[in-house]
A and B are shown apart, each in its own frame.
Chain A
Amino acid sequence: MARFHENLRTGTYAVQDVARRGLDRVLDRLPAPVRRVAVMPSVQGLVLVAVALAILLVTGPLSYPAYVVLLICVYLISVYGVNVTIGFSGVLSLGQGAAFAVGAYVAGILAGTYMWPIWLTLPLALLSGLAVGVLVGLPAGRLAALGLAMLSLGTVLVVSDMLVALDDITRGHSGISGITPFLSFDPDSYVLWEWFVPLLILGVAFLAFWFHARYRTSRLGRATAAVRDEPIGASAVGIGGYITKVAAFAVGSGMGGLAGALFAYLSVYISPDAFLPSLSILFLVMAVLGGLGSQLGPLVGVIILVIVPLMLAPFPHVNIIVYGVLLVLLMRLRPRGIFSRTAAAADPVRESLAIDSAGPTVAADADPGGQADGAVDASGTPGDVVLRAEDVKRSFGGLKAVDGVTLEVRAGEILGLIGPNGSGKTTMLNIIGGYYRPSSGTVWLEGVDVSRSRPQESARRGIARTFQTPKTFTGMSIDEHIEIAVQRQLDASPQRVAACRAAARALLVAGGLNPDDLRVGRRESRFLGHGQLRFLEAAMAIARCPKVLLLDEPAAGLSASEIETLENIVKDVARAGVAVIIVEHHLEMVSRLVDRIVVLDLGRVLWEGHPDDLHDAEAVRAAYMGTV
């Protein structure tokens, strides 16, 4: 039974992957200029609009098929909004129907009752939807999925009530009629041309389609997807998550409000019965069915879920039952991956990591013996103290993970932090990075107290790190990873930037990811092996040109030659002035690489000194391996 499930689940992925690969293969066969044009969202959008327009031309703008097509377009705008909120940011909102209703009523009241012009009612409907999103998003942005889901559910209930309660303006159950487009405040300026509203709807649908794609490739959109895929990895490059979530809520609701307004103009008459909670459910299922987060998914979802119920119209409750069953099935079949994680276009790596000034080149077979006796090199001895932790303590309940650790690192220095399991090394690293607050003690970064900083703040001040399990972004391409990192590059001299970029390139090469190969760059990170992800994560960290680089067991799972390459790259990075702290178990690598070693045991510093003296320290040997 379990095997059947497994096959079913991987089967669903397989179909999607095959479809995508087939599409890619077709696109790759096209000559380059045609391909570039074919993937542009504006072009795709125009094609879809042209198809819709053709249907309208054939059947006439006021016919029933035309109504279906236009309804699909209106719902599409709303579902693209849902896709931004849920698909891009992972924020589960169950209340798109509320924004839709608010937008519809704003337009309905202004146009139907007060006869305001359409070029004013539509933007106002958009803004009102946006306002709903911001209002719910502000408290919701800090909450986990459950809290957000419930708050959004609450807005649906509240809005339903308000539509009836505020019947002075909403006319309650009688509804509002006569929602026609006016061109000015003059009541005689209404538009009689029957193509006006249809063309407007097609136009806005095109804009929504295009905007949705552009949002994803914008700096904010990429950050949003990063937070969704791996919030810890995102915070490590300086992306906080709160703003991305509130923005996603706001934008998604704004699109819902706009869609609602267009629905009002399309239907000419609205009443509270058109905006039941089941509408929110419909939008949700449309987005989930098609594949949350993808560009064409919403289109598939909307088309299926508008056409099918129309066919089931004689059996009114059956559609909604079908939605419910679909939701349950989808969750079972894709329990870990309802987000269709697709990468968006990005600057290719070779552009992101372009080195303008001539910098040092890193060769994978550089002489390993040259640096064996210390960190003194051409650019001088290690510089000022960059990071200092003073008497740091941290307990978890009754467990004293870190019990008074003091250490410091200088610019250009490589510090090795070793110790047996449970000695507190990773906790120490997490405290420096801002993931845990010390129970007592202080951490200074270039003289600034960062003990209470959140991870993204520490990252923005100059700390970069890798993790024991690479925290890369599953659905994003290598190009995107590097672009995110480079967009968040810290201030540094041109030489240092050049050195860091060269090191980042070298790391990608070491991982078998040729930075100059465009096709490699487009590959999504979920297809990479574990070792490759390590190198990608390290490349991201270094591409930011940090002041302090924290490496958490970088050698785990790497072969001997890969470790050697890694060592050389780390040495180059340190030579450029970066302070490096490396937590490792691989004692030989640590001895070769670092300038200084700090040994932790049971949360305290057991020993500190030069790597050559390590093997002579009996206490260390006894503590670390029982015996060596």
Chain B
Amino acid sequence: MDQFIQSILLPGLSQGAIYGLIAVAFAVLHLTTGVINFGHGQLVVLAPIIILLSAAAGVPVWLAFLLGFAALLIAALVTEVVAIRPFVQSGSAVSWILSTFGVSIVLTEILAIPAGGEATYFPFGIPSDPFTLWGFRVSWAELSTLPALLLVAVLLTVFYRATRVGRELRAVGEDVQGAEALGISRARASQITVLISALIAAVTGFLVASSQILLPNLGIFFLFYGFVAVSMGGMNSILGAVIGGLVVGLVSQATAVYIGPLYGNLAVFTLLVLVYVVRPHGLFGARPVREV
């Protein structure tokens, strides 16, 4: 039992919280715009990499953090204007899939140029030195992901239910024409939503950089895992995204331990197939009514 907790439950939940954060960002963007940003994975690692590069260039750490955050916001806003806004609730998935995918490709390569495509270590994050707590080896970096996820999820849920802006964003997702006829701008909604997902990406990036090594192709990996998580939970559901993320984390960790570290992707892939076969609209999703 202790072994299970140490080697599967703790790391699974900790990593799963990261996937949950990605899934929550997907859910938030999708519920208003109907788009999944294929470049989100890159946005997550963007800030830490910029911070590292700036620090390496001699910039003081606090300024480096500012630069990283600014770069993230700029990248998010550019993505929104170029690859998301034209396709809000447009129903033509192929267009926005390819265009956000295109942006993700550009970001990956731009990041690869200075970073050289090698793994890098982030020294400015939450301490990852292990210590013992109740008989288990843990680190602050590991322990902080799940509370962060829960905090983000609660804040967002309150935002979408209790604030005016939140309700407007939900309205755009429900019926974009109806919302526009009431004075709610679809462009502004799409912008605000992308900024929210960028903030989530900032938090996610910080946690990721603290707890693991930054690899160049982390982006596509997060994209896939986060997507499986949000599909499992229901594309527009924040709660579903949280649950989905934790499940994905536990499954991939269990697979890595019991079968082998290179089989994680296969297990998560199988999970996605299962979701599509058993319940395509996810746990908390609604079956769409077709218009003829």
Contact, CB under 8 Å: B83 / A335: no
Judge if B102 is at the interface, Cβ distance under 8 Å: yes
CB-CB < 8 A to A165: which residues of B? 260, 262-263
Give which listed residue, A143, A145, A150, A318, contacts B227 with CB less than 8 A.
A150
- Known contacts A161-B262, A161-B263; A435/B98 CB under 8 A: no
- Known contacts A157-B269, A321-B105; A328/B231 CB under 8 A: no
Judge if B287 is at the interface, Cβ distance under 8 Å: no
Judge if B182 is at the interface, Cβ distance under 8 Å: no
**Range of interface residues on A (Cβ < 8 Å):** 35 or more
Complex CA–CA separation, A330 to B263 (angstroms): 36
CB-CB < 8 A to A331: which residues of B? 83, 95-96, 98-99, 102
CB-CB < 8 A to B262: which residues of A? 161-162, 164-165
Across the interface, name the chain B residue whose C-beta is closest to A326.
B102
In the complex, how many residue pairs between chain A and chain B have their CB atoms under 8 Å apart?
133
Contact, CB under 8 Å: A320 / B83: no
Give the one of B105, B268, B277 with max A CB within 10 A: B105
Contact, CB under 8 Å: B224 / A338: no
Contact, CB under 8 Å: A321 / B109: yes
CB-CB < 8 A to A232: which residues of B? 292
- Known contacts A92-B97, A335-B87; A158/B265 CB under 8 A: yes
Contact, CB under 8 Å: A145 / B273: no
A-binding segment of B53-61, B126-134, B191-199, B215-223: B215-223
Contact, CB under 8 Å: B289 / A396: yes
Contact, CB under 8 Å: A158 / B292: no
**How many chain-B residues does the 8 Å CB contact rule pick out?**
50
Across the interface, name the chain A residue whose C-beta is closest to B100.
A328
Complex CA–CA separation, A40 to B178 (angstroms): 51
**Which chain A residues (133-166) contact chain B, with CB distance < 8 Å?**
139-140, 142-147, 149-151, 153-155, 157-158, 161-162, 164-165
Complex CA–CA separation, A396 to B110 (angstroms): 49
Contact, CB under 8 Å: B292 / A430: yes
**Which chain B residues (97-113) contact chain A, with CB distance < 8 Å?**
97-99, 101-110, 112-113
Judge if B158 is at the interface, Cβ distance under 8 Å: no
Contact, CB under 8 Å: B36 / A146: yes
CB-CB < 8 A to B273: which residues of A? 139, 151
Give which listed residue, A154, A327, A430, contacts B99 with CB less than 8 A.
A327
Across the interface, name the chain A residue whose C-beta is closest to B266.
A158
Give which listed residue, B36, B113, B292, contacts A435 with CB less than 8 A.
B292
Contact, CB under 8 Å: A153 / B105: no
What are 16 A-B contacts with C-beta separation under 8 Å?
A: A145-B93, A146-B97, A147-B231, A153-B223, A154-B268, A158-B265, A161-B266, A162-B262, A277-B217, A284-B98, A288-B98, A320-B109, A321-B109, A321-B110, A326-B102, A328-B83
Residues of B within 8 A of A (CB): 36, 82-83, 86-87, 90, 92-99, 101-110, 112-113, 217, 220-221, 223-224, 227-228, 231, 260, 262-266, 268-269, 272-273, 276-277, 280, 289-290, 292
Residues of A within 8 A of B (CB): 90, 92, 94, 139-140, 142-147, 149-151, 153-155, 157-158, 161-162, 164-165, 232, 277-278, 281, 284, 288, 317-318, 320-321, 323-328, 330-332, 335-336, 338, 396, 430, 435-436, 467
